[in-house]
Amino acid sequence: MNKYKSLAMNTIIFAVGSFGSKILVLFLTRLYTSNISPADSSTKELLEITLNFLLPIFTLSISSATMRYGLDKEYNKKQVYTGSFVVCTAGLVSLFIISPLFKLISFLNYMDGYLFLLLLYVCASAFRDLNSQFIRAKQMLKLYSFDGILTTLTLFIFNIIFISALNMGVRGFMLASILSDSLSALFLFFAGKAYKYLNIKSFDAELTKIMLKFALPVIPTTIMWTITGFSDRLFIRYMHSDTAVLGEAAAGIYGYASKVPNLILMVSTIFYQAWNMSAITENNSEDKSDFYKTVYNAYQAMLYIATAYLIAFVKPITAIFVDSGNYSEYGDVYLYTPILAISVLLISLNQFLSSIYTATCHTKNSAWTSLSACVANIVLNVILIPKMGIQGAAIATLISYLVCYILRIIDTRRIIYFKVNHIDFILNMFVLLVMSYAIIAQPKLKIFYLLCGLIFATAYNFQPIIMTVKKLLKRH
């Protein structure tokens, strides 16, 4: 099987296991907006982001090394998994020890009443992530995909029980997430026979050091992306403005405005999971530059088309996933989605480029490029949010991800060179921004702008997709 078909088959396997489940998660957004107020939704969002902040710090991002070195045939899988398990467990124990200090930090007051649940949430997510990455390293992709379906179904059921039936609000969301992740971690541990690879006698200090050397730069990378999302909500929630509407409710609205673009992120993440494995396994191939060029061109072409259609139909799509019946404030969510949709496109391109850092073990480069996005986001939030409110946060996010993309497209091609057409990027970004303007400003020629944007995005980006399909159809 050629590398293109292998990538396509892995993507299909991930898609079968993830697409339906991820759509189900999006429909949970409707459940949340029906039962949780915008102010409480802001708290829920902040707790989720805090999880993403604490997870890499107290697990030392060891799960990223678990897949990287587990896939490498030069390393013993027992030593890889045991070392990862020991590091993960030690980190979580330290989290429980220092957690009382969180109460001393004033801006973390949203944790009041949720701290113990948050700690359990981190533990459940950490072990689920560790086991799922190890299953990927064993290339048990069907099991990995099945777990994705199973986990989402349990999450959906628990949310209905705790939020809809028992009306437990944010606490119900936390309990549902903890139980779902815990069941997933146990399922993968036993069904994937990870327990056979856990033996303290197999602990190899030298290999663990090598894995930590790889994983440690991933920590600031993950944290920077988390801060980029975290700062938006904090600034909207706590900043004061005489011209823009800010506060807890506004932060909740911004959180849900970012949910609809996740339709794009959902698809790109499915592809990224498969692509990341291909990037690692093909790292030493002679024609990897052509492989990267072909896949990247088709990937960005699909992203441009998907983003254009999402922006054009953003209002009816948002109405499907966000219920404004009980809380009328959610009715304006769609106005902030177009800019965030373009931001998600840039996140997806940045993910693709980060696979080069993973495959070649240049994780430090991933860290400093992420830092640039984080700094840009914070500075722009301070400038734009008081003047433009929620839309200012969206614009700050877009620009910060653009900064990261520019740095990575230059830096990664020094490591693995592949041809990129920058004119394509500029033209597509311009068209998407014009379409976003049509949704936000509602000009008289709105329909004309949107129609022209759709025609351009589809016609201009069609050829790279066809070329990749032809590569897939080749026998050799």
pTM of the model: 0.71
Residue 318 pLDDT greater than 90, yes or no: no
Select the more confidently predicted residue: 328 or 365.
365
How confident is the model at residue 329, as a pLDDT?
65
Select the more confidently predicted residue: 242 or 101.
101
Q: pLDDT tens digits for 408-444?
A: 999 988 887 778 888 999 999 999 999 999 999 888 8
* Dihedral pair phi/psi, residue 469, rounded to 5°: -60, -40
Contacts 24+ apart (CB under 8 A), 376-379: 376/400, 376/403, 377/227, 377/228, 377/231, 377/232, 378/227, 378/231
Q: pLDDT tens digits for 31-40?
A: 777 777 777 7
Mean pLDDT check: name the lowest of 140-144, 177-181, 265-269. 265-269
292's CB contacts (< 8 A; 6+ apart) are 356, 416, 418
Residue 290 pLDDT greater than 80, yes or no: no
CA 228 to chain centre: 12
Mean pLDDT check: name the lowest of 48-57, 123-132, 188-197, 201-210. 48-57
**Quick one: average pLDDT of 299-317?**
89
How confident is the model at residue 225, as a pLDDT?
67
**Quick one: average pLDDT of 274-292?**
67
Residue 121 pLDDT greater than 70, yes or no: yes
Total residue length of the chain: 476
Retrieve residue 430's tokens.
């311009």
How confident is the model at residue 476, as a pLDDT?
46
- Of all residues in the chain, the percent with pLDDT exceeding 70 is 85
Mean pLDDT check: name the lowest of 266-275, 299-308, 394-403, 443-452. 266-275
Question: Which residue in 276, 267, 351, 270 sits closest to 305, CA to CA?
Answer: 267
Retrieve residue 123's tokens.
């533990």
How confident is the model at residue 281, as a pLDDT?
63
- Of all residues in the chain, the percent with pLDDT exceeding 90 is 24
Select the more confidently predicted residue: 265 or 98.
98
Residue 470 pLDDT greater than 50, yes or no: yes
Question: Which residue in 140, 149, 151, 96 sits closest to 118, CA to CA?
Answer: 96
195's CB contacts (< 8 A; 6+ apart) are 189
Residue 104 pLDDT greater than 80, yes or no: no
Is residue 183 very low, low, confident or very high in pLDDT (cuts 50, 70, 90)?
very high
- Are 146 and 134 in contact by the 8 Å Cβ rule? The answer is no
CA 365 to chain centre: 19
CA 272 to chain centre: 10
What would the 3-class secondary structure string for the chain be? CCHHHHHHHHHHHHHHHHHHHHHHHHHHHHHHHHHCCHHHHHHHHHHHHHHHHHHHHHHCCHHHHHHHHHHCCCCCHHHHHHHHHHHHHHHHHHHHHHHHHHHHCHHHHHHCCCHHHHHHHHHHHHHHHHHHHHHHHCCCHHHHHHHHHHHHHHHHHHHHHHHHHCCCHHHHHHHHHHHHHHHHHHHHHHHCCHHHHCCHHHCCHHHHHHHHHHHCCHHHHHHHHHHHHHHHHHHHHHCCCCCCCCCHHHHHHHHHHCCCCHHHHHHHHHHHHHHHHHHHHCCCCCCHHHHHHHHHHHHHHHHHHHHHHHHHCHHHHHHHHCCCCCCHHHHHHHHHHHHHHHHHHHHHHHHHHHHHHHHCCCHHHHHHHHHHHHHHHHHHHHHHHHHHCHHHHHHHHHHHHHHHHHHHHHHHHHHCCCCCCHHHHHHHHHHHHHHHHHHHHCCCCHHHHHHHHHHHHHHHCHHHHHHHHHHHHCCC
With tokens 């700094």, the residue in question is 375
* Dihedral pair phi/psi, residue 282, rounded to 5°: -100, 10
